[in-house]
Structure 1
Amino acid sequence: MENSNEFEQREDQSAYETEQPVLYEVKDGVAIVTMNRPTFNNAQNGQMTYALDQAFRQAVDDDEVKTILLKGAGKHFSAGHDIGTPGRDINKPMDRVNLWWDHTNKPGGEFLYVREQEAYLNMCRRWRDIPKPTIAVVQGACIAGGLMLAWVCDLIVASEDAFFQDPVVRMGIPGVEYFAHPYELNPRIAKEFLFLGGRMPAQRAYEMGMVNRIVPRDQLCDQAMEMALTIAKQPRLALALTKQAINHIEDLQGKRTGMEAAFAWHHFAHSHSELISGDRIGGYDARAMVKANKEGQ
């Protein structure tokens, strides 16, 4: 039997720029959860992931909270997974909330497979199943891993200047881990979205049914709050059961099982990239991805 102790734990060299990667407040029965890494366009590291989970848990446990808003501080909602800031903590053990083992001392493809089961796929599923209605409030960029944060929410309200993008095919990867593309978009549009890797403006996302409403940026928070307050007038259990019913229909249509297959292909792609190039994400760091995104927009 393989002994994981044969493999040394990878050295963690991350340096966090803030001790509060997520802010939390409650107003009139609405929990406002704000991603708070504006310096890095709210790139999602492990610190932020687990802080989000704690904030969502706090909102669920508070009987006064009826609705949850998810926001991003600063210019952009989220630039996606952290692949290049000083706070990239991929080698740091975390206090896990799902029943997967620690990834940091595991070899080969197991390292990333286990980490992304815990921190991405299973965490997103956990948040999708929150029994209280959730609204993503999206301004500016919502890229790759940022899509996962918006897609787990029940509603998406976007500013006029918002855009959506999943450019990871250029890394050799078939889309982000929480593979909801064919459910958020028409399948043919989902292929275009991934094959071309360009920006989808808020207006087209609205036309595809991915976004519920588009509003001027200076009205974004107010209109999202108005929606949340309206929803909060409904009975708590009725809202939870309605959400369960619709999510269940999606799963009957194959969303969960399809996502399992896509996640396996995703990790085959990571391992393939590492074998042929020595890098799991095709040699792209954050700076290279930003440059390529701008050129390909």
Structure 2
Amino acid sequence: MEPAVTYEIFDDGRIARVSLNRPKARNAQNRRLLVELDEALRKAEADDTVRVIVLAANGPSFSAGHDMGSEEAVAEVVPGPDQHPTFRIDGGTRGSVVENRALQEWHYYFENTKRWRELRKITIAQVHGNVISAGLMLMWSCDLIVAADDTVFSDVVAARLGMPGVEYVAHPWEFGPRKAKELLLTGDSIDAEEGYRLGMVSKIFPLDDLPDKTLDFAKRIASRPTFAALLVKDTINGAVDAMGFQESLKHSYYIHQLGHAHWSALHDDKVPVAKPGPDIDDWRTAGPPKASDKYTP
């Protein structure tokens, strides 16, 4: 089985590139990918030669979000020889579906993303293609974001799953509060240029040049004194935290779990999200998100 994450070193070891490696699934995030990603990021963090970590992805898109039902993802959950061991710890054996999900998602969707935000290295997300829902979480955990000119950002979980965003709700901080509401309520998308205008994206490069241009950018950052770079990171992160970022994340996480509990209670089969119907688009057939346009309803 191919690794779900690849690890490369550049610039005499000063830059580590960690790449999501489920290209056929458009890097949808199953448990194996998330655990391997955590291990790879920790490996780069522990290496004293590494100054900058680039988080990239192989294939046509950075990430299509959570894996909603591939064969591998289903096998990971179901008890048996192919079940991922993390489903037997961290609340995975709790009998209550609400408690089980809240604990599992805390460890593998929420707390891990917060931990990656605090990595003791400067991190750069190198994104391209679709960055959908949970793909935003991975990208937003990084200090800087570099996007290909074909990049499209969206969160469709409200429109297609009846949920109030993903587990790590940084939307109001990244988009601004009103744009965050619009994008969540409609499921519409924005492009790299709009991401740059909002201050979310640092650089935009042609898709074919993205890996090389990102490495050039990373080399500039890697040339800074390591401790000074870390102090810059902590100064800015600390300012955002003082404005309530951490408390906002925690509050939003439990709102997310309330959404799951609502649907689990509503459905006889305990499915924790909305099912397709008159108010909910079927995520399997809905197609790409509509582009956000200030002139179109």
Q: Output the CA distance in 1 between the equivalents of 2:226 and 2:289.
A: 46
**How do 1:1-297 and structure 2 match up within 5 A?**
18-28=1-11, 29-88=14-73, 89-91=76-78, 92-94=83-85, 101-170=90-159, 171-277=161-267, 278-283=270-275, 288-294=282-288, 296=290
5+ residue gaps, structure 1, are 1-17
What TM-score, normalized by structure 1, do the two folds share?
A: 0.88
Q: Output the CA distance in 2 between the equivalents of 1:143 and 1:83.
A: 13
Q: Output the CA distance in 1 between the equivalents of 2:107 and 2:285.
A: 30
Q: 1:207 to 1:295 in 2, by over 3 A?
A: closer
Q: Output the CA distance in 2 between the equivalents of 1:221 and 1:250.
A: 29
Where 2:71 maps in the other structure, the secondary structure is coil
Q: 1:275 to 1:296 in 2, by over 3 A?
A: farther
Counterpart AA for 2:166: V
Identical-pair percentage: 37
Partner in structure 1 of residue 295 of structure 2: none
Q: Output the CA distance in 2 between the equivalents of 1:172 and 1:295.
A: 15
Q: 1:144 to 1:90 in 2, by over 3 A?
A: farther
Q: Output the CA distance in 1 between the equivalents of 2:56 and 2:282.
A: 26
5+ residue gaps, structure 2, are 292-297
Q: 1:228 to 1:160 in 2, by over 3 A?
A: same
Q: 1:90 to 1:154 in 2, by over 3 A?
A: farther
- 1:108: how far off? 2.1
Q: 1:268 to 1:252 in 2, by over 3 A?
A: same
What TM-score, normalized by structure 2, do the two folds share?
A: 0.88
Post-superposition CA distance 1:175-194 (Å, at most 9, x none): 01111001111111111111
- 1:296: how far off? 4.5
Q: 1:295 to 1:151 in 2, by over 3 A?
A: closer
Post-superposition CA distance 1:218-253 (Å, at most 9, x none): 111111101111111111111111111111111111
Q: Output the CA distance in 1 between the equivalents of 2:27 and 2:191.
A: 19
Q: 1:68 to 1:138 in 2, by over 3 A?
A: same
Cα contact 1:174–1:266 (8 A) shared by 2? yes
- 1:158: how far off? 0.6
Cα root mean square deviation, aligned: 1.8
Cα contact 2:163–2:260 (8 A) shared by 1? yes
Where 1:289 maps in the other structure, the secondary structure is coil
Counterpart AA for 2:98: G
Q: Output the CA distance in 1 between the equivalents of 2:287 and 2:242.
A: 35
Cα contact 1:46–1:94 (8 A) shared by 2? no
Q: Output the CA distance in 1 between the equivalents of 2:39 and 2:143.
A: 19
Cα contact 1:158–1:211 (8 A) shared by 2? yes
Cα contact 1:131–1:244 (8 A) shared by 2? no
Q: Output the CA distance in 1 between the equivalents of 2:107 and 2:95.
A: 14
Cα contact 2:86–2:92 (8 A) shared by 1? no
Cα contact 1:93–1:102 (8 A) shared by 2? no
Q: Output the CA distance in 1 between the equivalents of 2:38 and 2:289.
A: 34
Equivalent pairs, count:
275
Counterpart AA for 1:180: A
Counterpart AA for 1:289: W
Relative to structure 2, which stretch is displaced further, 29-38 or 182-191?
182-191
Q: 1:295 to 1:72 in 2, by over 3 A?
A: closer
Cα contact 1:160–1:202 (8 A) shared by 2? yes
Q: Output the CA distance in 2 between the equivalents of 1:231 and 1:205.
A: 21
- 1:130: how far off? 0.4
